[in-house]
Structure 1
Amino acid sequence: MSAPPRKSSVGMETRHKSETAKTGRIHPAASPEHVPDPGSDANERLLCRMEVMMQSMRSDIVTEFEQIVSGVVKREIAAALRPLESGRKCTLSAQSETINSLEDTATDHGGQLTSLQATVALLTEQVGSLSKKCEDLEGRSRQNNVRIVGVPEGVEGARPTDFVATLLRDLLGLNDKPVLDRAHRTLRPKPKDGEPPRPFIARVNLFQQRNEILRRAGASAPLLYQGKRESVFPDFTAAVSKKRSAFATVKKSLHSCPGVKFGLFYPAVLRVTLPGGQTHRFEDPELAADFVTKHVKTMVSPDSI
């Protein structure tokens, strides 16, 4: 058996040349790795050198600019401070003297304030004491007075003292007219039509007769004059009247307790006497109400009410 014929090397070369002629170029042989271009590395190195140079120039420019600005600022500040530095010693001396003067003044004022505080405290105590004394003196100056409420305006005529004495005798059934030192309306303005009349203030000459008038006024209530109701009360100051009126609720409760005696003494002291003879005094209406609720009410049996 004969061997297959081999292609001639001349024919292979001829074919290769013809393919090259057709494409017009020769393709390089393929390699497993790309070989970098030496020109690109040179460009990158050149760019790095330029950036370093620009950074250095920028730093130099900034440093020089800062030096120029700082020098100008320093000169301006020095020029502005020169007048102050020239008179600094005098200025500091004057300020030191001013501060010392202020310290001395503050110390002096502090002492004066301390003295004033002590004086104010003393005066406050004295004013409080004097106010209490004035209130007591005013109240005692009214001890012989009675207040008559409800008398129409103008019926007293030109002699109000005689009119009030006759009125008290007729209202209370007294044997004789009481001796009055004076009698007058309260000093507020005369009321208009439809307004209540001003009360009468009458000063009784004898304190015992004044008490008798008040006792009969309480026993003879209601009192009528010309068909109108009249009332006779003690004449107290506004402060005392307010204190006494605070016991009104307690007094109303005690009225419903048989066997319990009580009285409201001047200026505003409630005295309660229990059936066993025990006596209690109260100046505070709340304490009095609490005592009546807890002790007096429990002593009264339901059958005795």
Structure 2
Amino acid sequence: MPRKNTPKSDAAEAEEGAPEATDSSNNANDTSSHIEPVLGAIASLRADLEGFKAAICQTIEAKTAAATAELRRDLADLKTENDAALASLRTKMEVNAQSIKELADATSTSSDTVRGLERVVETLQEQVSTLTEKCIDLEGRSKRQNLRVAGLREGKEDGRDGRELAALLLKEALDLDELPLIDRAHRALRRRQGDDEPPRHFIIRVHYSHTFEKIMKKVISTREISFQGQKIHIFRDLPQEVAKRRVAFTTVRKLLRDKPGVRYGLLYPAKLRLSHDGTEKFFTDPDEARRYVVRYLEEAGSGRM
């Protein structure tokens, strides 16, 4: 028959568990014996690390202090150099500012002077223009009764007085009733040309203005003028500037030549008078006159005039 399990008493249980307690105590003693060297090693390592740490911190602090001191010295030197450079720049800027101020003042003064001179120049230009026109007018008045003869061969005088030759030339060439009274007669004041070059102009001053006008009418009405078988040209002796102004109208006069219903002429000193279709125009600008004539001719050609 199977045995019945009978409950054990407390004493018996205590006796049974006693050996296990003894083993645990032994194991704890063994662990403590092993941990103590490790803890000691750890403590020693910690002490060594603390020492290394302190040494490293001291080294870093020393090097940092040295680097900081050197950096401060460098910064101080740099500041000193910068201060000196800035002081020099400040001095130069002050000098430049003063120079710029002086230049500005001088420029302002020069500008005022230039404006004043421009006004003076404008006034002088107006005066010069006025005086030039007056001089041209005076020169024209002094030549008011002068004639120029072109094409008269050199040596025609044959020892005769120039006035005598001039009177004879005008009488014969223009078929005058009597010899005109001549004040002066001479060749143009320039070097005598060679035989193969055009002769110098023969300049004649007529004494009476009414005789001069009569001669000019004869010149205008005579197509070809000749003297002793030689073809010549007679025209007014005008100032050079007036002659240039009148020549500028040559193109316009060529355009108007032989145009039906158109009359034109040059007034002294150089003013073109143009009449057509009951309209009369005056021009002192050759370009303006040419544009007007071209437009008029185009409109007349298209039948709109």
TM-score scaled by length of structure 1: 0.63
Larger displacement relative to structure 2 (116-125 or 283-292): 283-292
1:50 maps to which residue? none
State the 1:202 CA deviation.
1.2
Distance (whole Å) between structure 1 residues aligned to residue 243 and residue 180 of structure 2: 25
State the 1:93 CA deviation.
8.2
User: Could you say if the C-alpha distance between residues 226 and 76 of structure 1 is closer, same or farther in structure 2, counting changes exceeding 3 Å?
Assistant: farther
Q: Within 5 A, what are the aligned runs for 1:247-286?
A: 247-274=249-276, 277-284=278-285, 285-286=289-290
The structure that is helix-richer by fraction is 2
The answer to whether 1:150 aligns with 2:151 is yes
The Cα offsets for residues 79-115 of structure 1, whole Å up to 9 and x where unpaired, read as 9769969xx98x9987777666555444433332232
Identical-residue share of aligned pairs (%): 33
State the 1:288 CA deviation.
4.6
Q: Secondary structure at the match of 1:122?
A: helix
Q: Secondary structure at the match of 2:293?
A: helix
The Cα offsets for residues 104-161 of structure 1, whole Å up to 9 and x where unpaired, read as 4444333322322221221122112222222222223222111100111122235212
> Aligned partner of 2:217: which letter?
R
Does the 8 Å CA contact 1:150/1:199 hold for their aligned counterparts? yes
User: Could you say if the C-alpha distance between residues 226 and 297 of structure 1 is closer, same or farther in structure 2, counting changes exceeding 3 Å?
Assistant: farther
Does the 8 Å CA contact 1:282/1:288 hold for their aligned counterparts? no
The answer to whether 1:115 aligns with 2:116 is yes
Structure 1 stretches of 5 or more lacking a match? 1-55
> Aligned partner of 1:119: which letter?
V
The Cα offsets for residues 37-76 of structure 1, whole Å up to 9 and x where unpaired, read as xxxxxxxxxxxxxxxxxxx9xx99xx79x95994796499
Distance (whole Å) between structure 2 residues aligned to residue 139 and residue 233 of structure 1: 14
Distance (whole Å) between structure 2 residues aligned to residue 281 and residue 82 of structure 1: 76
> Aligned partner of 1:290: which letter?
V
Q: 1:290 aligns with which of 286, 294, 297?
A: 294
Indicate the RMSD between aligned Cα atoms, in angstroms: 4.2
Aligned residues: 241
Does the 8 Å CA contact 2:219/2:234 hold for their aligned counterparts? yes
Q: Secondary structure at the match of 2:135?
A: helix
State the 1:201 CA deviation.
1.5
Q: Secondary structure at the match of 1:165?
A: helix
> Aligned partner of 2:290: which letter?
E
Q: 2:219 aligns with which of 208, 213, 217?
A: 217
